[in-house]
Chain A
């Protein structure tokens, strides 16, 4: 299954004096099974873009296609898109509302009109996926959980819809290091189990670690697109845009500046380790 955005432009409050173009002429295909990272400053249009993927926002011009079908054409059931594309907003724990975890996670399946038995099964499955399947957990109030747990429950609420594409808007924002790492591992696990993942992130280290492809947005348009390797090779350009680069990239740039023969395409910690060791061994031979 794939979603394609065709020359999508979105203008907020069109026709009013506050009219603002959020994204302009964006074309992008989300490929099945990929882990796509959306990068850019706040206000560059990435959240607006994300909300087009599941049809929450309608393009002012352009089309959004789900397997070749225009999702905004007459007669197309939008619920179909919402079911297939799960969207996890920033700070999703702020949307919890039910008395128990089970009811909250079951809200989506219930809206799909599923039977009680099926809802129960999906709730259990979703909570297992986010690692909250200890007995009795389902009957707790979502409001008495810790911050990290609340976020995972909210995410389970989306997973219970069994989406094929998971769109996440800064899923790790505001979490402490340990909960951050847990959350990222969780998302990476879902990707490995076959979900297509689209993740908005400000952390280049996370993008370097997990993404299979990255899109950099600036002023509502796509500025760069490619594998993390292709993106981070242009570290200077990212820095010009005022964006970070992974710290390992920075180290590589610095070393090359100092005249060392450090390879260009290292951007993950585990790549840096052998590269630096090789450099060192090489240097030792020359020195000896």
Chain B
């Protein structure tokens, strides 16, 4: 197994002193190059956890380490944020500049990248998310999916090792969601960027390496998506929605149809039905 890039060690967090814990004793280890998903209903603490990793919040108890640096070490804050970038939920509220190219430059300017280096890095980042043709457009004229891809390019230009996506598809239409998902998967596969994908959409988590379910501030389930989602009964208490095929398989099994375990996708279901019916 590869070395861990993000480690949360018994992390708890409360927004106010003596307030309720938003994150409760969470331990997590994410290997370099992997694709992890965190699922949970609203208010389950998943977004808070994301912000703890990036050093936007500091743990009340426990430690978060990113690339071996503790987020509580003041001197390392900017280095941590550069190495573990973050893309947020609302596409409108994270772009700063009036022109796409300049927005991608924003992070580079902040970390003091020499001017001569910038254009090449910006173009490459925009190309990697398929937005190079839009480099000179105004962000407010782009679609939601396009804006999110610009936001990703802004992080990408800073050459991060990991990117945390905090419900980055929640406000997009299906097409925008597909665009963003494809871009992210490609970055993970081709460039080996570690991805932490926070969502409440089950279908987006189906293809990740490891999934974690959060409920009331705690990680209550961890495992491969197949282990977690194919067992409808296990996830229902956490107010999550099982993938439609897993749900259907469950009902068919209840009626005596001997379907194999672990069905998540339409293809898997079709194969299994065909096997039994032919």
Contacts and interface: CB of A to CB of B under 8 A. Distances in A.
A49 B244 CA distance: 31
Given A176-B42, A202-B174, A273 B248 contact: yes
A174 B42 CA distance: 10
A45 to B, nearest CB: 14
Chain B binding surface SS class: helix
A251 B245 contact: yes
Interface string B231-251: 000000001110011011001
B266 interface: yes
B273 A205 contact: no
Chain A binding surface SS class: helix
B276 interface: yes
A174 B43 contact: no
A250 B265 CA distance: 10
A258 B244 contact: no
Given A41-B173, A254-B267, A279-B277, A269 B244 contact: yes
Interface stretch (A51-59, A136-144, A241-249): A241-249
A263 interface: no
A42 interface: yes
B270 A277 contact: no
Contacts of A41: 173, 175
A277 B41 contact: no
Interface in B145-169: none
Contacts of B278: 260, 283, 287
Contact of B277 (A42, A251, A272, A282): A282
B255 A260 contact: no
A280 B257 contact: yes
A178 interface: yes
A147 B278 CA distance: 49
B266 A254 contact: yes
Q: Count chain A CB atoms within 10 A of each CB in B173, B240, B247 and give the residue with the most.
A: B173
B275 to A, nearest CB: 10
B276 A255 contact: no
Nearest to A90: B171
B257 A276 contact: yes
Nearest to A179: B42
Contacts of B245: 247, 251
Contacts of A269: 244, 247-248, 251
B175 A247 contact: no
A174 B170 contact: yes
A251 B274 CA distance: 11
A148 interface: yes
Interface in A262-288: 269, 272-273, 276-277, 279-280, 282-283, 287
Contacts of A178: 41, 239, 241
A42 B175 contact: yes
- Contact residues on A (Cβ < 8 Å of other chain), bracket: 35 or more
Interface in B206-230: none
A112 interface: no
A283 B240 CA distance: 34
A180 B42 CA distance: 11
A181 B200 CA distance: 13
A266 B94 CA distance: 42
A177 interface: yes
A158 B241 CA distance: 29
B97 interface: no
Interface in B251-278: 251-252, 255, 257, 266-267, 269-270, 273-274, 276-278
A42 B173 contact: yes
A260 B251 CA distance: 20
B4 interface: no
A42 to B, nearest CB: 5
B107 interface: no
Interface in A161-182: 173-181
Given A247-B244, A260-B278, 5 more contacts: A178-B241, A260-B277, A269-B251, A276-B248, A277-B257
Interface of B: 41-43, 143-144, 170-171, 173-176, 200, 202, 239-241, 244-245, 247-248, 251-252, 255, 257, 266-267, 269-270, 273-274, 276-278
24 contacts: A43-B143, A176-B239, A177-B41, A177-B202, A177-B240, A178-B241, A179-B42, A181-B241, A243-B174, A247-B245, A247-B266, A248-B244, A251-B245, A251-B266, A254-B267, A258-B270, A258-B274, A260-B274, A260-B277, A269-B244, A272-B248, A273-B248, A273-B252, A277-B255
